[in-house]
Amino acid sequence: MILSRNMLGTVLLGGIFFLGSAGILNAGQPLKITIKEESTVQGDKVRLGDIATFSPSEDARAGRLKGVEVCSAPYPGSQTRLNTHFLDYKIGYAVGNDDSVRLKKPATLLIKRTAQYIDTKELEDIFKKHILSHSSWSRDKIVFDRINTPGRMALPEGKLRWQVWERGNSDYIGNVFLTVDFRVNGQRVRKVALSGRISIIQEVVKATRKIRSGEVISKVDLTLVNESNTGRQLKNALTRIEEALGKKATRNIQEGRRVTRAMIEDPPMVKKGKRVIIKAMNQSMQISTLGKGLEDGKAGDQVKVMNISSGREILATVMGPGVVQVHF
């Protein structure tokens, strides 16, 4: 096809007009921004695109203005209200001197923020799971007497993870304190303190009758009972009847009372006024003679005894029931 000079000019001028229109894209035409009365956001920033509609939506200015930050979002699960003066200031600053932008706004704007929630039971489960997976006690013996949490929490939406840190008491008995770091999409959003009191179910020795101070304890005086115990109680309590058999009570122990190590002691193997066998020995010989204890003594104690045949007082070591030893 052959174009005349006049036809070619017309085509060129039309092309220039089309390209010019595409370049300015609605320049000079009004852009209407309508602020909603209520908006819901997810992130920690509120942008103009979150709270407004734009007409025409394809206007190039709309794409820029949508990203303008209006304010920080409220805490997750809460809300805030913006007045018209604040909106005038923030949006007017972004629009500048463009008289073709028309702004329509309500008297106030309510902004709500979404959240994901962690309730009290979930926090308690975090505490329990950490204790059960780290304690050396079997799970069926661990008792959670109480667990303290801050209650239901609102966190930002996103991928939730947490890490638990211990705050002393790695025995996990008695009062236990933990710190939990919550992270959403890899960023720390909240640190929470959890605490609780933990007991252990274990058999302990109890008295079946009143045991008087100074009495030697026998098997019929004792029984085993399952009870909940904390760390200090576990250290002091007897867990086997054999630990108390043949021991002497250091105080009165009431019937049904738990027997602790502080309540018993080994009875004296040498008693004051009672006969003893004195073994005298050196590297080459050993002789034995009768004696009398001048004081009570347990195994290993140094006690005074008297040699009955000579009437001499000597210091000897208690070796066993009624037996002492001296070296010469």
DSSP structure string for 219-272: GGGEEEEEEEE-HHHHHHB---GGGTTTPEESS-B-TTPBPBGGGEEPPPSB-T
- Its pTM stands at 0.66
> What is the C-alpha to C-alpha distance for residues 225 and 205, in angstroms, rounded to an integer?
7
Query: Phi and psi at residue 186, in whole multiples of 5°?
Result: 85, -5
DSSP H or E run through 125: helix 120-134
pLDDT of residue 233: 65
Tens digits of pLDDT across the chain (328 residues) = 333 333 333 333 333 233 333 333 455 689 999 999 999 999 999 999 999 999 999 999 998 899 999 999 999 999 999 998 898 888 888 888 888 899 899 999 999 999 999 999 999 999 999 999 999 888 999 999 999 999 999 999 999 999 999 987 778 888 999 999 999 999 999 999 999 999 989 889 999 999 999 999 999 999 999 988 876 666 778 889 999 998 999 999 999 999 998 999 888 889 999 999 999 888 788 889 999 999 999 888 999 999 998 999 999 999 989 999 997 7
Contact 173, 201 (CB under 8 A): no
pLDDT of residue 232: 66
> What is the C-alpha to C-alpha distance for residues 302 and 282, in angstroms, rounded to an integer?
18
The token duo for 164 is 């638990």
pLDDT of residue 109: 95
pLDDT of residue 217: 94
Say which residues have a Cβ less than 8 Å from residue 82's Cβ, sequence separation at least 6.
Answer: 70, 71, 108, 109, 111
Contact 262, 238 (CB under 8 A): no
> What is the C-alpha to C-alpha distance for residues 259 and 269, in angstroms, rounded to an integer?
23
Does a cis peptide bond (omega within 30 degrees of 0) precede residue 156? no
pLDDT of residue 72: 95
DSSP H or E run through 101: strand 101-104
pLDDT of residue 94: 82
> What is the C-alpha to C-alpha distance for residues 49 and 70, in angstroms, rounded to an integer?
10
Return the number of other C-beta atoms located less than 10 Å from residue 286's C-beta. Answer: 10
pLDDT of residue 28: 61
